[in-house]
Amino acid sequence: MSDTIQVTFTFNRDIFSALRQDPDHFVPELLLAAAVKWYELGVVSQAKAAEIAGLTRSEFISELARFKVTPFQYSADEISQEVEA
């Protein structure tokens, strides 16, 4: 028995030309964008985000740079507290 769920989205055809991507490249990019955003918001861990995106953790960390998202999930206050401790 599989623990997977299939989800189907419906898009107008013109979205693919607007994004300059064909459906085969759009789906992995959509998963990556969602994973990066959820990671950035602190909703998921780096490991879980990589899993959502279908990447290794190392590959996911590399992709974060493309989205201009830091691989570190610490606020300035948390860093200050760590340094003071």
Over the stretch 35-77, which tens digit does the pLDDT of each residue have? Answer: 999 999 999 999 999 999 999 999 999 999 999 999 988 766 7
CA 61 to each of CA 2, 51, 82: distance values in angstroms, whole numbers, following the listed order: 28, 12, 23
pLDDT band at 1 (very low <50, low <70, confident <90, very high): low
Angle between helices 23-40 and 57-66 (to 10 degrees): 90
Please state the pTM of the whole predicted model. 0.79
